[in-house]
Amino acid sequence: MDIKKDDLLINPPKQFRPISLWAWNTRLYKEETARQIAQMDEAGTGGVVIHARGGLRTGYMGHEWMENIRMAVAACQRHGMDIWCYDEYGKPSGNAAGSVSGMGEKYQQKYLRCSITPLKQGVKPIASIPVHGRLYYFYYEVNENYVDFLEPKVTEAFLRSVHQQYKRRLGSYIESLAGFFTDEPQISSGGYPWTPSLPAEYQKQYEESLLEKLPDLFFHSETAYRTRIRFWRLITELFAKRYTKQVAGWCH
């Protein structure tokens, strides 16, 4: 057996060791932050991902939070460990602990719906279309607790609220971060996603009206499969452009 390789397996360099998802879920103290990093180093951990979780008693992204981030960066430097910052309080990523969805309906997640009954007051109508001899109403609902990543201003607001705050307030410390950990940003968890710009984007991409094709998303027809493939392809492209590429571009 190659002795050098065997030694590397027994005692690998830190870049090949596990990285701990480190939950910050209580009151933060700089001395305790440094102590726990030393303990994780002694246990063989190669690095940490700092993650704000339920129970946190120090203001997320506040002064004490940033002081503890600085302490963690400095301690990881001393111990030769990588350090990442989770980009959210809890999950999924993108809401900056509710500050982005709190900016109003334009920033909030939306779902396309279909109903055979007339719409109640306050519902957001899109179109009324006959299907198999019956009139159906298409509209969207708003999820006030999460964000609409198909709207480009949402990711801009998220980056301003989290990433740019770290850059501005950490100063040179940010150069020692391995990166930001982003977790499960959601296009939809409750049906067809919607955003007001979709009809125009669909027309631009496929040269046909999305509004006229809305029944294909809910009912079988000769064009239903094609419409659904086109719809989800467009959603994926918009998400990649308006969320993923924006975040990646900022990080680069």
Give the gyration radius of the chain's Cα atoms: 24
Sheet holding 124-131, edge to edge: 108-115, 134-147, 124-131
Q: Which helix (H) or strand (E) holds 145?
A: strand 134-147
How does pLDDT run across 160-174, given as a tens digit for each residue? 999 999 999 999 999
**Amino acid present at 28:** L
Q: What percent of the chain has pLDDT over 70?
A: 99
- Distances, alpha carbon 159 to alpha carbons 24, 61, 80, 89, 171, in Å: 21, 13, 28, 14, 16
Per-residue model confidence (pLDDT) at position 229: 98
How does pLDDT run across 127-161, given as a tens digit for each residue? 999 998 999 999 999 999 999 999 989 999 999 99
User: At what angle are helices 198-206 and 224-239 packed, to 10 degrees?
Assistant: 110
Residue 2 binned pLDDT confidence (cut-offs 50, 70, 90): low
- What mean pLDDT value characterizes the chain? 94
Mean pLDDT to the nearest integer, 175-189:
92
Mean pLDDT to the nearest integer, 59-87:
97
Per-residue model confidence (pLDDT) at position 11: 86
